[in-house]
Amino acid sequence: MKNNIQTSLEYLQKRLNDYPKLAVILGSGLGYFADRLKEPYLIKTADIPSYPRATVEGHEGAWLIGKVGKHKILVLKGRVHFYEGYTMEEVTFPVRLLAEFGVTHLIVTNAAGSLNPQIRPGDLMLIDDHINFFFKNPLISREPISPEKRFVDLSAPYDPSLIELAEAAAHKLGLRLKKGVLVGSTGPSYESAAEVRMMQILGGDAGSMSTVPEVLVANQMGMRVLGLSCITNMTTGLSENKLDHSEVTEIAAMVGEKFESLMEEIILRIFRTSNLD
Our answer to whether residue 28 is catalytic in this structure is: yes
146 is a catalytic site residue: no
Annotation marks residue 208 as catalytic: no
By three-state DSSP, how is residue 65 classified? strand
59 assigned to active site? yes
Please, are residues 229 and 129 in contact by the beta-carbon 8 Å criterion? no
Interatomic CA distance for residues 135 and 141, integer angstroms: 15
Q: Which of 54, 209, 223, 234 is catalytic?
A: 209
Q: Which of 88, 111, 223, 263 is catalytic?
A: 111
Write down the CATH number for the domain with range 2-273: 3.40.50.1580
User: Given 23, 221, 233, 234, which residue is catalytic?
Assistant: 233
Ramachandran angles phi, psi of 260, nearest 5°: -65, -45
Q: Per-residue pLDDT for the chain (277 aa), expressed as one digit of tens each?
A: 668 999 999 999 998 888 899 999 999 888 889 999 999 999 999 999 999 988 776 567 899 999 999 999 999 998 999 999 999 999 999 999 999 999 999 999 999 999 999 999 999 999 999 999 999 999 999 988 888 899 999 999 999 999 999 999 999 999 999 999 999 999 999 999 999 999 999 999 999 999 999 999 999 999 999 999 999 999 998 876 776 667 667 777 778 889 999 999 999 999 999 988 8
Is there a catalytic annotation at residue 71?
A: no
Active site annotation includes 84 = yes
Strands (E), 69-138: 71-77, 105-114, 124-133
Kindly list the domain boundaries of the chain, sorted by start residue: 2-273
